[in-house]
Structure 1
Amino acid sequence: MSAKKFSEDHRVVYYETDVTGSLGIGRLVDLMMLSSEDQSDKLGITNEKVGERGLGWVVTQHIINIKRLPKVDEIITLSTQAKSYNRFFCYRDFAVYDQAGNELVTMHSVFVLMDRSKRKMVRLPEDIITPYESEYTKKIERLPMPLTVENASGQKNYRVRFMDIDANHHVNNVHYFDWMLDALPAEFLLSHRLIKMNIAYRQEVYYGDQVNSAVEIDEDNLLTRHTIMTGEQQNCLAECEWAEIK
C-alpha cells in the first residue's frame, strides 16, 4: 500500500517574493509545511489532537532541490506524501508544480515527535501514523549532514524578536532561511540562483536569544555553508549549491 498523497493550489502573492519577484525559499518551505499540516487536518490528526497528548512535530532536516522558484502571481500546486516511518522518524516528500504540470521544486524532510515538556523524542504512536498509510521500515535514513563553517566569509547578528516566535514557542523555521541567506552579499544573491539546499536543525532558538549567522563561500564550486549559533551552541547548519544567472 502506498502512502496517501495530498495536493493543494496556491497563488504566489507579492509579499511572499523577494526583490527578483521570485518566491522566497523560506516562504516556499512554509507553504510546503502548510500542505502537510492541511493533509493532517483532513485525516483528523490535527495539531490540537497531537498537542493534547503533550506532543508536537519537529523537523530535523530538509533536502531541497530547485529547478526554478515560482514567480509572483503564479499559481502553483503543492503536493506531499508521508512516505515511510520507523519507530522514531517520519520521512515525508514534497513537490511543487506549475500549472503545466512541470516539477519546480522537491523536498525530502525528516520529522520526529517530541514530548513538549521533556523535550525528548518519543516513539511514533500507531494511531497517529496509521491514517497516512505510510510504509513501515526498520531502516533509519542516513542523510548527508551539512558541514559546519570553518572560515567565515561573512556574518551577521540578530536578536530574536517576539514576532519571530510561533505557536510552538520557538523561532519559526522560515527565519533560519532569512538569517542564513542575509549573511551573503547582495551582489552574490542577485547574480546566482539557489539550486540545492541541505538544512539540518540541531537546537531550537527562543525569544530574546542573540543569533549569529555565519557563511563560508566556496566560489570555485558555487557552494556556501551556513551556521546559526547562539553563543557556543550550534542551532542550525546548511549547505547550499548555486548556479550563475546568465
Structure 2
Amino acid sequence: MGENIFSEPHKILFYETDRTRRTTIGMLVNILMLTSQDQSIELGLTEEKLNEKGYGWVITQHILKIERLPVYGENIRIFTRADSYNRYFCYRDFWIEDEKGTVIVKMHSIFVLMDQKKRKIARLLPEFIEPYKSEYTTKIERVPDPKIDETSQLISEKNYRVRFMDIDSNQHVNNVHYFDWMIDGLDENFLLTHTLVEMNIKYKREVHYGEMVNTETRMAENQLITYHLVKAGEEESCYACCTWGKK
C-alpha cells in the first residue's frame, strides 16, 4: 500500500441510511470526505490552520461510481489518496471496501484552494500540499462535464431557502446539501425501484445563507439517466448527471 494512502474503518449508522436501509448519497459523500479530513488532521493540516492563514479547501467536482451502496450496520473501510496536483487544482481519489475487501464505491474529486478574503481561487502553496506526497503535474485533467441534455423531459421543479445549518465553515452551503436537493426531485416510486450507479456533479457558484435556490430535475428518454440543476436566482450554482440501474 502506498505511503500516501490513508484509510480508516467505519460502521454504517442508522441515520446515514434511508427507508431501504441503504446509505443515502449525501451521507455516503460525507463519509468519504471525513476520511480526507482525518488524513489532513493526522498530517497537521487542520482546517483551523488553513483558516488562520486565510484559506480553505473548496470542491469543484465529484465523479462517483457505485457497485452497491453500504447498508445499515455494515462494517466498511474507507480509503483516500491525494493523487496529483498542478498550480491550481488538486485531484483526490476515494474508495470503499466491504468486509471481503471488495471495492463497492469509488469517487474522484477535484479541489481548489480558496482565498477566503478575496473569495477567489488561490495558487496552491507548497506547505499545504507537500505533506500529502502527491505527484505534481503540469497537466489539467479533462474531466467530463455533466452538461444537461436539453432534450430530456423536465419532471420536477422545487424551491428551497438556505438555512443557517446548511452553511459550513467556508461560509457557504456545504456541498453535501446539493445531493439532498437533487435527489428530492425524484419521486418515491423511482427511488424505491432504482439505485444510483454513477454521478458526475460540478459546482460553479457559492450559495449563501438566506438565498432561495431553485432545483430542476430532468429525465432522459430511457428513464435511466437524470439531469439536475441548482440555481440561485438566474445563476447556475451546481449541476449533475446521474445514471441509475433498476433494483
Same fold by TM-score, threshold 0.5 exceeded? yes
**Paired residue secondary structure (1:40):** helix
Deviation track 1:180-225 (CA, whole Å, cap 9, x = no partner) reads 0000111111111000000000011111111111111114161000
Does the 8 Å contact 1:3/1:134 carry over to 2? Answer: no
Once residues 132 and 165 of structure 1 are traced to their aligned partners in structure 2, the CA distance between those partners, rounded to angstroms, is: 27
Aligned counterparts of 1:93 and 1:8: Cα–Cα separation in 2: 15
Q: 1:149 to 1:161 in 2, by over 3 A?
A: farther
From 227, 232, 241, the equivalent of 1:239 is 241
- 2:109 alignment counterpart: 109
Task: Structure 2: state its 5+ residue gaps.
Answer: none
Structure 1 stretches of 4+ moved >6 Å: none
Kindly indicate whether residue 102 of structure 2 is the aligned counterpart of residue 96 of structure 1: no
Uncovered stretches (5+) of structure 1, i.e. residues with no partner: none
Q: Distance in 2 between matches of 1:212 and 1:131?
A: 40
Aligned to 2:138: 138
Deviation string for 1:29-85 (max 9, x for gaps)?
011111001001101111111111100000000000000000001111110000100
One-letter code of the match for 2:213?
V
Q: 2:196 aligns with which of 194, 197, 215?
A: 194
Take 1:218 and 1:187, find their aligned partners in 2: how far apart are those partners? Answer: 17
- Identical amino acids, percent of aligned pairs: 54
Residues 161-192 of structure 1 deviation map (CA, whole Å, 9 limit, x = unaligned): 11111222211111100000000111111111
Shift of 1:19: 1.1
Return 123-132 or 2-11, whichever deviates more: 2-11
The aligned residue for residue 52 of structure 2 is 52
Q: In the alignment, what sits opposite 1:158?
A: 160
Quote the Cα distance in structure 2 between the aligned partners of 1:165 and 1:149. 30
Alpha-carbon distance in 2 for matches of 1:48, 1:197: 31
Cα gap change, 1:152 to 1:221, in 2 (>3 Å): closer
Q: Is the 8 A contact 1:156 1:213 kept in 2?
A: yes
Map Cα deviations across residues 122-155 of structure 1 (whole Å, 9 max, x no partner).
1111111001110000000010111136352211
Shifted more, 162-171 versus 73-82: the winner is 162-171
Q: For residues 173 and 163 of structure 2, what CA distance do their matches in structure 1 show?
A: 9
Aligned to 1:153, the other structure's residue is in SS state: strand
Residue 104 of structure 1 deviates from its aligned partner by 0.7
Matched, 1:85 2:85: yes
| Structure 1 residue matching 2:154: 3-state secondary structure | coil
Aligned length: 244
Counterparts of 1:226 and 1:76, CA distance in 2: 29
Q: Specify the code of the residue in structure 1 equivalent to 2:227.
A: R
Q: In 2, Cα distance between the equivalents of 1:81 and 1:106?
A: 12
Return closer, same or farther for 1:149/1:214 CA change in 2, 3 Å cut-off: farther
Over the residues paired in the alignment, what is the CA RMSD in angstroms?
A: 1.1
User: d(CA) in 1 for partners of 2:193 and 2:186?
Assistant: 12
SS of structure 2 residue aligned to 1:58: strand
For 1:65, the aligned partner's letter is K
Aligned to 2:72: 72
| CA distance 1:104–1:211, shift in 2 (3 Å) | same
Q: 1:12-27 alignment to 2 at 5 Å? A: 12-27=12-27
